[in-house]
Structure 1
Amino acid sequence: MDADGSPIPASRRPGRAATGNASGRYEPYVRSAFDDGWASDETLPPLRTEVTEERPRKVITSNESPDVPFDRSLNPYRGCEHGCIYCYARPMHAWLGLSPGLDFETRLIAKPQAPEILARELGARGYVARVIALGTATDPYQPIERDRRITRRLLEVLAAHRHPFTITTRGTLVERDLDLLAPLAAQGLVQVGLSVTTLDPGVARVMEPRAPSPLRRLETVRRLTEAGVPVRVQVSPVIPGLTDHEIEAILSAAAQAGARAASATVLRLPREVATLFRTWLEERFPDRAARVMARLRELHGGRDYDPDWGTRMTGQGAWARLLRSRFDLATRRLGLKELPPPRSDLFRVPREPDPQLSLF
């Protein structure tokens, strides 16, 4: 879709999930493509990833949601090149005057000063350490991290302060940082949540087009576990009629790879994500699109999305109870248990070098 919602040709969006680039909800105008009569044989090039930079005033974000087990988070990037069509963070791009569609996947914002700002926040007078969730909105190990290394530098700051944190990712680049993560895990300071939504490589390729394959993610679970890093597999989101039949298989594969815990949430489609997902579903899986959406509405009280606390991530009704029962039975059978939270009692603020030479 162009800014007005019309589709963008598939030739211009290889390796992308969204089909268009509809204007964000805050934009005062909608741009429309139309034929002005000047026919042209010019073929526009494929969309490329663009990265700009910002310097935020702060990087630790607080939240009061009762649906998540943390009250502060940290994200080194806005937008995500993995391009998962279901990503609940897509609407945040509208705050920037960009589209939650293809802009979210191709027009990324990096925060190169984030490590220095984090160090300042952790060193502030009166700061109290509690678990920081890294990568809750966009993936800290998306492809641009390979060159930008912002996540790597954030880990170095957290390690210097012995600050507890968790990582949520579907990126195998997390293996690069095992030299930092393994010693922190030995002190009980870190956990990694690795998302595995499907084991079907075909579904994964069109649903999460630039994320590593499911089998490669399971290999990352194994490597992290062998290094002593506790891993939770996240079967999220569960998509009824498309991936829900794989719950047990994903959990079994994750347990075999060494995962110690598991979690699951059902698909949620806030704001612009609902239209993006429906359009994607009709293009990629036209034979089951109506069934998927009907089942999803059963989970969300007849709507595409239920924003209410307590039900938005689990769904409600008979199907929600069935999914939860299947998940609970499988995790008990496989020995996947809850992980204790990372410890906060080791936190310290590194001392600045004393410019005065010591006499002793």
Structure 2
Amino acid sequence: MDSNIPLSVPNLSLDILDNIKECIETGWVSTGGQFITEFEEKFAKYVGVDEAVGVQSGTAGLHLGYSILGVKQNDEVIVPTVTFIATVTPITYLGAHPIFMDCDDTLNMDLNKLEEFLENNTEKTVDGLKNKTTGRIIKVISIVHVFGNPIAMEKVMYLADKYGLKVIEDAAESLGSFYASGKYSGKHTGTIGHLGIFSFNANKIITTGGGGMIVATNPELLSKARFLSIQAKTDPLYFVHDEIGYNYRLTNINAAFGVSQIDKVEEFVKVKCNNYNLYQEKLEKIAGLKLLPFNSGTRPNYWFYSVIVDKAEYGIDRDELLKKLNDVGIQARPLWGLMTDQKPFKECYTYKIEKAKYYVKNLINIPCSSNLTEEQILYVVSKLKEFKRD
């Protein structure tokens, strides 16, 4: 067996080649072509919405989303400290400021702390919800379903409605995750907030090489997103532009990948679920390692497998284990560096960042690709046993 096992790689097949060949033969390789429309329609049908807008990346989708929801210079957006930086940077593109929230034991935003912050640290004004400390207006809550684990959207939407805030769901990692019970039973992540953003980067559950998708509860928001993504052409024939737009449209050649990949989401989720359960069965027998669970009442996509390393029981700490795994060709990664520790955000407003500090120090992500084999999983587990120090 090849002992080089990547963390998360695309699961591609040669049936994509017919679509790519058509793009080349017709010359439609850029931001026009039939595959864009086909992919948008198939994607919308899969997640259960009427319409979707393809963009060049999840980051581009977030930038458009924050702008469409009214985030402007000197406004604030509530974001988690546990996320990839792309959730946060588009806020700064608009001259706005993040407010960082702690995580809970699911790695998702701590909604109890969010509620506490909104109750004690904000006040309603004629201009909107004001942060009492900074004096700025808060416009949006940006929710991330970390590693494909659906957050409790009932509480998110309750708080947003109570305080007059808009909600963006950063569902970049959670395509295929949905709620199995409660108010939103049957609804996919990304389809509940005012806007939802998905990513098709190479490490996601499906890939288009690069690309993203926007969905919305209000069709007017989607129309605005589509308009802004094509340089805000009011009259495309005579090149009239009445406002600032962006070159953010998904390309046809990327969409050609997506048309094939979207049909395989459920197949990929099934494999990832089975592999997660196998890891769980095996890791339960290794003292000091705990595979993080996914939330009950949901059908997650099992995108990433996160293991907590307890040095007292396992014998070595997370960093030493990280090095040992990578040294033998098993690609493992720590949690992202906390956003509150990143140099560009050092001076930003934070609220009781506590639990995130534990997870950033003790969490490791292990191989989780949808084409990961049982043999590879057993090899990873064998090394995790071998490296344990009694």
TM-score, with structure 2 as normaliser = 0.27
Structure with greater strand percent: 2
Q: Looking at both structures, which has the greater relative contact order when contacts are Cα pairs under 8 Å and sequence separation is at least 6?
A: 2
TM-score normalized with structure 1 length? 0.28
